[in-house]
């Protein structure tokens, strides 16, 4: 008997569930970062391209390179980025006076989408 092909709705539901699982694993890891090196390691542990949850890792990679808010970053991501910037600043890992501008950008970001 031929295997039934999943409907678009079923595939989208499975993708959303997988995306949620990746987020639930990624979020505490992001919240615990203390250094640039740890952030780089987390980015390198990303799922393959076009996989559920890849965007969280890509967003973090973009943020750590540019200190700009990635398009599509959700509010929780922005909050966790702000906490990371505060930890990095407190540890002296940022240039003096850099953190306030980054934190302001995170706080006032409005998505272009």
In a domain, 54, yes or no: yes
pLDDT value of residue 54:
96
The whole-angstrom separation of Cα 76 and Cα 80 is: 6
Q: What is the pLDDT of residues 9-30, one digit of tens each?
A: 999 999 999 999 999 999 999 9
In a domain, 29, yes or no: yes
In a domain, 25, yes or no: yes
In a domain, 4, yes or no: no
In a domain, 59, yes or no: yes
- 3-state DSSP assignment of residue 66: helix
In a domain, 1, yes or no: no
| pTM for the predicted model, two decimal places | 0.88
In a domain, 113, yes or no: no
Q: Which domain holds residue 75?
A: 9-108
Contact predicate 53/47, CB 8 Å:
yes
In a domain, 2, yes or no: no
The whole-angstrom separation of Cα 89 and Cα 100 is: 10
Number of domains making up the chain: 1
């Amino acid at each position: 008997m031929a295997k039934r092909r999943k409907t678009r709705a079923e595939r989208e539901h499975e993708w959303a569930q997988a995306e949620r699982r990746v987020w639930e694993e990624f979020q505490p890891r992001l919240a615990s970062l203390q250094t640039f090196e740890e952030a780089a390691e987390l980015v390198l542990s990303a799922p393959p391209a076009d996989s559920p949850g890849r965007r969280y890792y890509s967003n973090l990679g973009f943020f750590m390179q540019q200190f700009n808010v990635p398009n599509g970053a959700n509010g929780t991501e922005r909050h966790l980025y702000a906490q990371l910037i505060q930890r990095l600043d407190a540890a002296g890992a940022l240039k003096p006076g850099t953190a306030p501008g980054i934190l302001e950008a995170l706080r006032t970001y409005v998505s272009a989408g």
